[in-house]
């Protein structure tokens, strides 16, 4: 998907009209809406989980700074734990976790933060940002989209809302959408220089977002069976996932507002959501249909 960022740069340099992609953004909102519905339906099992979901959605709709997302996720887990009526939440277990992977993970996180602050190189900042997105993914790749959108379009202005949504929409028809989208976003964020620099930006995005998961899986997998025996952990994770559902819901609302309320825009979003929830039409076909619709006269 680095090639997609090249396409945008190439189109811009030739002043080629990209109106044929005008329905990709509304379609992408439909993907977000269907993800919010599915995850929300799965996680809303009580009044408490619904309250956490809605509260998280309202907070992140109005406050879209980088620090609010991990704070809301942590608050959701803490709220679920503190109000749980289950007994003996902190039952004892025996574990021998491979701490070296956590040390490597934390070392890279700290080093990337220091480098991003000290070196002032866009590539180091991109890697730090995507690495951070990688370890904030809880409940599926869509959870980190609100943070990415706020950071890349509103805080740093690496790309426009339309460019963000177009990239996110197009990768839905490809395998490994989060990896593809991260490479696209990294490439878009590093355009304006050489082709090599843009490729490095795409690699920083793709590698950065997946490296935390690779490191943590070697730590979590060996101890997960033991961790699942601790009631407090299980309760907190349910709260975190409920909060994650709220983040996706808020992101859907924000992107819907950003796209505007033209009848054709709303129609594409509604049709995409309905098709995805019906499970009768695959994502790649929906992407192709959205692109084909863009050839219709405005």
List the chain pLDDT tens, one digit each, 298 residues. Answer: 554 554 555 445 545 456 677 888 899 999 999 989 998 898 888 999 999 999 999 999 998 877 788 899 999 999 998 988 777 777 676 777 778 888 888 899 899 989 988 887 888 988 998 998 887 765 556 777 888 888 888 888 888 888 888 888 888 777 666 777 888 888 888 887 788 888 898 889 889 988 887 887 777 677 766 777 788 888 888 899 899 899 989 989 988 988 888 999 999 999 999 999 998 888 889 988 998 888 877 6
Q: Give the structural domain span for 151.
A: 2-9+19-89+99-293
Alpha helices in 63-176 (DSSP H): 68-82, 99-119, 122-135, 145-149, 161-170
Rounded to an integer, what distance in angstroms lies between the CA atom of residue 250 and that of residue 39?
13
- Two tokens at 147? 């943070």
User: In the chain, how many H helices and how many E strands?
Assistant: 13, 0
- Two tokens at 252? 């859907």
Tell me whether residue 63 is in a domain. yes
Placement of tokens 């992407």 in the chain:
287
- Closest to 174 measured CA to CA, from 288, 19, 252: 288
| Interval 125-137: pLDDT, tens | 889 989 988 877 6
pLDDT of res. 180: 77
Tell me whether residue 195 is in a domain. yes
Report how many domains make up the chain. 1
pLDDT of res. 105: 85
pLDDT of res. 184: 85
pLDDT of res. 177: 65
Tell me which DSSP letter residue 52 carries: H
Tell me whether residue 298 is in a domain. no
Tell me whether residue 244 is in a domain. yes
Tell me whether residue 179 is in a domain. yes
pLDDT of res. 10: 47
Tell me whether residue 94 is in a domain. no
pLDDT of res. 175: 65
Placement of tokens 């920083």 in the chain:
204
pLDDT of res. 136: 72
Tell me whether residue 14 is in a domain. no
Rounded to an integer, what distance in angstroms lies between the CA atom of residue 253 and that of residue 66?
18
| Interval 22-67: pLDDT, tens | 888 899 999 999 989 998 898 888 999 999 999 999 999 998 877 7
């Amino acid at each position: 998907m680095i090639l997609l960022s090249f396409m945008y740069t190439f189109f811009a340099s030739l002043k080629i009209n990209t109106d044929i992609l005008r329905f990709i953004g509304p379609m992408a909102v439909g993907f977000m809406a269907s993800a919010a519905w599915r995850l929300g339906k799965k996680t809303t099992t009580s009044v408490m989980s619904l309250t956490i979901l809605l509260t998280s959605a309202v907070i992140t709709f109005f406050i879209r700074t980088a620090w609010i997302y991990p704070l809301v996720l942590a608050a959701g887990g803490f709220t679920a734990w503190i109000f749980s009526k289950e007994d003996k939440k902190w039952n004892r277990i025996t574990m021998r976790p491979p701490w070296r992977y956590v040390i490597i993970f934390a070392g890279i996180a700290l080093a990337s933060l220091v480098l991003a602050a000290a070196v002032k190189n866009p590539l180091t900042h991109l890697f730090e940002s995507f690495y951070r997105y990688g370890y904030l993914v809880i409940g599926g790749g869509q959870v980190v989209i609100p943070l990415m959108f706020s950071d890349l379009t509103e805080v740093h202005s690496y790309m426009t809302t339309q460019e963000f949504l177009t990239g996110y929409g197009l990768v839905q028809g490809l395998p490994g959408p989060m990896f593809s989208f991260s490479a696209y976003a990294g490439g878009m964020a590093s355009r304006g220089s050489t082709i090599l620099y843009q490729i490095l930006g795409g690699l920083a995005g793709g590698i950065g977002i997946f490296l935390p998961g690779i490191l943590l899986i070697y730590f979590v997998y060996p101890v997960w069976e033991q961790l699942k025996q601790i009631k407090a952990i299980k309760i907190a994770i349910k709260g975190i996932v409920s909060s994650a559902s709220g983040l996706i819901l808020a992101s859907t609302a924000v992107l819907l507002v950003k796209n505007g309320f033209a009848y054709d825009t709303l129609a594409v979003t509604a049709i995409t959501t309905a098709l995805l929830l019906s499970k009768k039409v695959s994502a790649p076909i929906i992407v192709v249909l959205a692109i084909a619709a863009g050839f219709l006269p405005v």
